[in-house]
Structure 1
Amino acid sequence: MSAPTGRPPSVVLAGGGTGGHIEPMLALADALRRRDPAPRVTCLGTARGMETRLVPARGYDLRLIPPVPLPRKPTPDLLRVPGRVRRAVADTRALLAELQADVVVGFGGYVALPAYLAARRAGVPVVVHEQNALPGLANRIGARIAARVAVTVPGTPLHRGEHVGMPLRTAISGLDRAGRRGEARAAFGLDADRPTLLVFGGSQGAASLNRAAVAAADALTAAGVQVLHARGPKNTDVEVPARPAGAAPYVVVDYLERMDLAYAAADLALCRSGAVTVAELSAVGLPAAFVPLPIGNGEQRRNALPVVEAGGGLIVDDADLSPRWIEATLLPLLTDPAALAGYAAHAAAAGVPDADDRLADIVLEVAAGDR
């Protein structure tokens, strides 16, 4: 099936739920919108997800389908899943017909599964994009029926997966860190020429990172290292006393609205290793000390490993992160410009800044019937 001549292809994107699904979906949508002629892009989501706010804000049409949450463990709720799937698939299939969909692109999660099944029944080809090193259930199913399968992390165990990378916003993928450094540091009240550590734990912060970084504040700033620390909007108890006059600043903020400027300001990051975070850091060439989330199936460690193995970062277990580890491991690195430059070069070499366009090429090839 391919788009009839005389109209642009109709591309349906299924990536609602969390920011980890929504951000790459919107980055792909932006890449498609830059094409000439631009395809018609419609996003699928549910009423309970972040997409209800993020998708319209970026100027894309959002159509809602019933959610199909998949229990991770056998529970009585598992018995309700088949009925929920049937209803969601029927609703989604009707939407695909209304939209005259030429291709469905899924990013995993509870929006993607009914989209994959509805597309198969409607004869619409599917493209799957997997963000994490360990794929979820929806994408493992989708990969079996997909025309093409794109993965972010090399070696992801997904049927016929092609390494494409993570689609990112152009504000990140096109960032000139060196060129924006002065502007970025001034924006956060940092000194222009000091080595800079960026600490962040995702949109809500991370308690273990907050504790370790704050406890190491005196050692860092005494050595001339300044810190930009995003504590999370609810963690108002995370504070660092004002530094003495002439000392390196330690700037604490609730949230970083401009991650591009935060990356430009920094020489090294201390952070979790979610899929989007790892992809963004490597795309901009910012080395990091990754602290994988200590719960789940270990995917955060796997996300970071290719960058670390390429020499673009470090991994420390959450249980081993401490002020002493920061002082013994990060402080010598932050005060060694040559070592920092080497880590940055290796991080950049592991990045894929044009993954949005690579995935857009695949999607349009499939929509045109070239599989």
Structure 2
Amino acid sequence: MKVLLSGGGTGGHIYPALALMREMKKQYPDTEFLYIGTERGLESTIVPDNGVPFKAIEIQGFRRSFSMDNLKTIGKFIKSTSDAKKIIKDFQPDVVLGTGGYVCGPVVYAASRLGIPAVIHEQNSVAGLTNKFLAPFVKKIAICFEEAADQFGRHKEKVVFTGNPRAQEVVHVRKNSALKEYGLNPDIPTVLMFGGSRGAQKINDTFVDSYAELKTKPYQVLFVSGKLHYESLLSRLDGTSENVKVVPYISNMPEVFAGVSLIVSRSGATTLAEMTALGLPSILIPSVNVTDDHQTKNALSLADKGAAKMITEKELTREVFIEELDRLMQNPSERAAMAEKAKRAGVPDAADRLIDLMTDLTE
């Protein structure tokens, strides 16, 4: 079988595709993959680094308000659709999966025009503009949040709840000694705090403001600043601490997840998929700089079930943060109840569901 993957711009679109690919390789070792992205997106480095053949096309997104740039975008869409058709004809895939981002538009559209079955995968609770555009042209629409189904209107009958393939990659990770790599004791309750791979200024500022108090706590804190902010953040801290460690980046995040007691983070779709797969309690601080405020809706999907606590950026102060952190870290039974609800919200067989959906289309 040959599978064409496309998705770009952010890791949230790329990692689900790669997780799906790895699981599919286990089940169908002879499967061939090709990934189409852009040269400017993260996929241009992440995908080749994962050993996946990569082709690039040029495309840009539409502006939501009227702009002359949209006329240029239309021209680029026509050109990129033609380029995608050439790549598709050469590769001859049996099925196409689009995981979001502007690049999926011409790729998935081109596949549909060529009569190749295509699936789009929506990771967030709010459907992206590209996926809404592609809904009429695909065979199936895979979603990770049930709230997203109604947003596809008359194409709702194509919707299938699969979850995020990243969940299946991490579900079997067990508590380990990964915290030792960061100078922490795996036997002491630990908070993992981060704002995404690039860091988040508001979360970083709150951590700095709280640092003096965090050093006095009976629990540990592992804080991920993001590489861009690391040096400047260290310069703002008063000394070092045995129980609070700061790192720029964590490459083995699932292993670290498995060893912590509580997570404080943004509410991106991939992060939530990993947390719910492992059944982890969390404090979620949604980013306000995302389309349609989808991170708030992602967070609410867990908070409304009692599976997480949400604090908005507007509400986030040192006092509020420390109070909520202490409350949860001093109440293991409440964390356990939250963890159980998070586990019930997860989809541990998400990759299997998506693979079954795709293979059914090739029969």
Band of TM-score, shorter chain: over 0.9
Distance in 2 (alpha carbons) for counterparts of 1:37 and 1:276: 25
- Let me know the Cα RMSD of the aligned residues: 1.7
Shift of 1:224: 0.4
Q: Deviations over 1:254-289 (max 9, x none)?
A: 111211232123211111111111111111111111
2:117 to 99, 122, 125: 125
Q: Which AA in structure 1 matches 2:137?
A: I
Q: Which AA in structure 1 matches 2:228?
A: K
Q: Secondary structure at the match of 1:234?
A: helix
1:58 alignment counterpart: 50
2:244 to 229, 239, 250: 250
- Aligned pairs for 1:111-260 within 5 A: 111-156=103-148, 157-158=151-152, 159-160=155-156, 161-168=159-166, 172-176=170-174, 179-180=175-176, 183-235=177-229, 236-239=231-234, 240-242=237-239, 249-260=243-254
Check conservation: 2:167, 2:346, Cα contact below 8 A. no
Shift of 1:192: 3.4
Distance 1:196 1:36, change over 3 A: same
Check conservation: 1:220, 1:331, Cα contact below 8 A. no
2:7 is equivalent to residue 43 of structure 1? no
Check conservation: 1:68, 1:84, Cα contact below 8 A. yes
1:24 alignment counterpart: 16
Q: Deviations over 1:328-354 (max 9, x none)?
A: 222121011111111111111111122
2:75 to 80, 83, 107: 83
Q: Deviations over 1:27-74 (max 9, x none)?
A: 111122112353221111122122221112212111222223322322
Q: Which moved more, 1:76-85 or 1:312-321?
A: 76-85
Distance in 2 (alpha carbons) for counterparts of 1:128 and 1:324: 42
Check conservation: 2:220, 2:243, Cα contact below 8 A. yes
Distance in 1 (alpha carbons) for counterparts of 2:101 and 2:224: 28
Shift of 1:24: 0.7
Check conservation: 1:243, 1:249, Cα contact below 8 A. no
1:351 alignment counterpart: 346
Check conservation: 2:121, 2:142, Cα contact below 8 A. yes
Percent identity reads 33
Any gaps of 5 or more consecutive residues in structure 1?
A: 1-8
1:69 to 31, 38, 61: 61
Instruction: Give the alignment's TM-score, normalised by structure 2.
Output: 0.92
Check conservation: 1:195, 1:335, Cα contact below 8 A. no
Check conservation: 1:32, 1:38, Cα contact below 8 A. no
Q: Deviations over 1:220-276 (max 9, x none)?
A: 3423021000111122222344467xxx61001111121123212321111111111
1:337 alignment counterpart: 332
Between the two proteins, the alignment pairs up a number of residues equal to 353
Q: Secondary structure at the match of 1:204?
A: coil
Shift of 1:198: 0.9
Distance in 2 (alpha carbons) for counterparts of 1:142 and 1:225: 48
Distance in 2 (alpha carbons) for counterparts of 1:66 and 1:242: 48
2:318 is equivalent to residue 326 of structure 1? no
Higher fraction of helix: 2
- Aligned pairs for 1:293-332 within 5 A: 293-296=287-290, 297-332=292-327
Distance in 1 (alpha carbons) for counterparts of 2:168 and 2:180: 22
Distance in 2 (alpha carbons) for counterparts of 1:192 and 1:130: 35
Distance in 2 (alpha carbons) for counterparts of 1:191 and 1:17: 36
Q: Which AA in structure 1 matches 2:332?
A: P
